[in-house]
Structure 1
């Protein structure tokens, strides 16, 4: 009898896929939903490639039952999705829209009936437009707005949802939306303004943690999904490893809010890194008594979205030096998505060494291509399979070395609205015809089903 391939992943390892509300739901005004900053931004001329919008996207609002059936075919153990804040609170605060909450309640019930754990993200970039017009994240009141929103969702879903993520990638919602202005709401704030909005969003995260723990029934697992660009040692020498670590956690004016420890140190250590005060000086936000205690409310796992990275070596003085990338290096159809096989390994290792004591969950990882249905009727996305296999082998290596990796969510379940890039880049395990709204499992979905069934052992076949 052949011996089963061993797997380093724990028997209760979470295998899932992820989406976000604006990218898949459509139905922007159905059942009393209010507008979000993305509803507004995507309708501005020339802001989105092809002048696309998320008005229909994958029409998941009406097709969620079919989508759950496809999740079952893949064998997902968990599904990470976000709540559209303005679907629950059309004005962002005040009146609760029961019909909006009822949609998510039906979705949660459908997932649980299918044996799939719901992992709910409270904020995936779609701030209610009414709150943006009141100052958005620049307004200190945004902390309380978010706390009350979290409480409303927790009261409605907290009897069944046991896994929560407060924010998705504050680096993007603040950096791309309020600094560079290429995402909603499209603003270009001063550095002081960007950092003030950043501080408020981290405080909002902390208040949401408190709201979830107060209003959910029974114990819950709460985390935050951060992101960054990994720094990978060119060799496994101690010098290169330390150089990569230093580069990964450095704070620079050039990186701004993309500096990894600017989010993670306050959340997991209760303070901004000293380098932030040196680099940003008077632009750093004013910190009131209790702010850092709020931001550093205890979490249950480290959530992290990982896609790309750069290789680093130690220079003659030991300081980190970026290694020039090879010409024509492997990448997806988006310029920022280059393939570096060891991303998940070093992200998991570096973060759990700096912030020990918590399990580590990859809350997003994936590959974008220009997938199409072949003449034989299938979607043969071999690059996605190869990309994901390489990255997951790195995560398996971390698990084998004792790093407490606890879960992996593929981005994305469905081809979807890819923000300012429109519909051309396809990240999904499931192909979506955006005109006919038909779905088709890609080869990668069938491959991922085998990975899940084997709890990762098939990565080494």
Structure 2
């Protein structure tokens, strides 16, 4: 009989630990033209030929907008204790400005009520990449005004759901929104402008700070506010100085650009120096870093893989 070389230690979780599932609005809701909803950047992007595999779109998705009661019943059958979902900004505030569409908010009110009745704790993400297309037409995240529009939207949703939802996340993976959306162009809105990506990153940080203040102004003090970051461990391929320097740059661009201002009220000096050929960071105004560094209750970590970095070949 074979015996394990090392004893197996059982993994235990604290009694209050919640097992749950997570989605984003555009991935599951469908109903993209119902009850006042207008296009987001992902509607536009997915309907652009060649941008998605097989030309797939979120027009119907899994039809969660109409089937949410069945979906919550499935969650209950699975024994989930929590469900994290995102709000569709263009369903609530179609132009990204002005008053809310109550029909859009009513969907999320019904969803939250259904979750609570099933004994499932709701957690809300305010932004999971579906910027209203009209805001992108006005410049999108590279424009400072978008951060102020987000704060207005955050207050609207906080007022509507803050009495029943205790866990709030301002932004999901702002790195993806900034760099995949505005630098590499593989995510919506599909732009390829590195300088715009850096501006977008700063304005997403600013949106987080402004949104945190907006939420706390309208919600009970018991509610928690967090941000979700897709941070990875960055490792140099070797201890060669060139590899070490390359890993430092990637660590700054993937993590420090968000951790720095959110947790410490400053961007890493090494980040500013490395990106100087692309951006002078003049869009960082007096008071921005203090506004970004708001007290938060948690940082959510979406961890996928480590990142191994080497210097580019000469």
- State the alpha-carbon separation in 1 of the partners of residues 52 and 204 from structure 2: 25
User: What displacement does 1:309 show?
Assistant: 2.0
Q: Does 1:99 align with 2:108?
A: no
Instruction: Say whether the 8 Å CA contact 2:247–2:310 is kept in structure 1.
Output: no
Residue 3 (structure 2) aligns with? none
Distance 1:256 1:87, change over 3 A: farther
Contact 1:42 1:48 in 2 (8 A): yes
CA RMSD of aligned residues (A): 2.5
Match of 2:35 among 8, 23, 31: 31
Match in the other structure for 2:159: 155
- Unmatched segments (≥5 aa) in structure 2: 1-8
Q: For the structure 1 residues 183 and 321, does the alpha-carbon distance in structure 2 shift closer, same or farther, using more than 3 Å as the test?
A: closer
Which of the numbers 214, 225, 229 marks the counterpart of 2:228? Answer: 225
CA shift, 1:257, in A, is: 7.3
Please report how far the alpha carbon of residue 262 of structure 1 lies from its aligned counterpart in structure 2 after TM superposition. Answer: 1.2
Determine whether 1:44 maps to 2:48.
Answer: yes
Counting only pairs closer than 5 Å after superposition, residues 31-110 of structure 1 correspond to structure 2 as: 31-110=35-114
Matches within 5 A, 1:220-299: 220-231=223-234, 250-252=247-249, 255=250, 258-281=253-276, 283-286=279-282, 287-299=284-296
2:140 to 136, 142, 156: 136
- Report if aligned partners of 2:169, 2:226 keep a CA contact under 8 Å in 1: yes
1:201 and 2:196 equivalent? no
Q: Does 1:300 align with 2:303?
A: no
Distance of 2:228 and 2:248 partners within structure 1: 19
Contact 1:121 1:166 survives alignment (8 Å): yes
Q: CA deviation at 1:176?
A: 0.9
- Matched positions, count: 299
Q: Per the alignment, in what secondary structure is the counterpart of residue 214 of structure 2?
A: helix
Distance 2:197 2:141 in 1: 9
Q: For 1:265 and 1:74, how far apart are their aligned partners in 2?
A: 38
Task: Identify the match of residue 16 of structure 1 among 15, 20, 27.
Answer: 20
CA contact under 8 A between 1:225 and 1:304: conserved in structure 2? yes
Q: CA deviation at 1:259?
A: 2.1
What is aligned with 2:6?
none
Cα deviation for residue 302 of structure 1 reads: 1.4
Structure 2 contact 154–215 (Cα < 8 Å) conserved? yes
For the Cα contact (< 8 Å) 2:246–2:310, is it kept in 1? no
Kindly state the Cα deviation for residue 139 of structure 1 after the two structures are TM-superposed: 1.6
In 1: Cα distance, 2:251 partner to 2:46 partner? 26
Distance 1:285 1:321, change over 3 A: closer
Q: Does the CA-based 8 Å contact 2:150-2:211 persist in structure 1?
A: yes
Cα distance, 1:7 vs structure 2: 4.5
Separation (CA, whole Å) in 2 of partners of 1:249 and 1:80: 35
Are 2:42 and 2:130, in contact at CA under 8 Å, matched by a contact in 1?
Answer: yes
Query: Is residue 218 of structure 2 the alignment partner of residue 215 of structure 1?
Result: yes
Q: Which stretch of structure 1 is more off in the superposition, 215-224 or 138-147?
A: 215-224
Relative contact order (alpha carbons < 8 A, sep ≥ 6): 1 or 2 greater?
Answer: 1
Structure 1 unpaired stretches of 5+: 235-239, 312-319, 323-461
Kindly state the Cα deviation for residue 9 of structure 1 after the two structures are TM-superposed: 1.9
Q: What does residue 145 of structure 1 align with?
A: 149
- Structure 1, residues 295-333: CA drift from partner, whole Å, max 9, x if none? 11011011111112246xxxxxxxx979xxxxxxxxxxx
- How far apart, CA to CA, are the structure 1 residues paired with 2:234 and 2:251? 16
The separation in 1 between residues aligned to 2:206 and 2:307, in whole angstroms, is 31
In 2, Cα distance between equivalents of 1:307 and 1:247: 22
* Helix, strand or coil at the partner of 2:141: helix
- Aligned equivalent of 1:356: none
CA–CA separation in structure 2 for the residues paired with 1:125 and 1:321:
30
Matches of 2:136 and 2:234, distance apart in 1: 35
TM-score when normalising by structure 1 = 0.61
SS of the aligned residue for 1:217 comes to coil
Distance 1:257 1:167, change over 3 A: farther
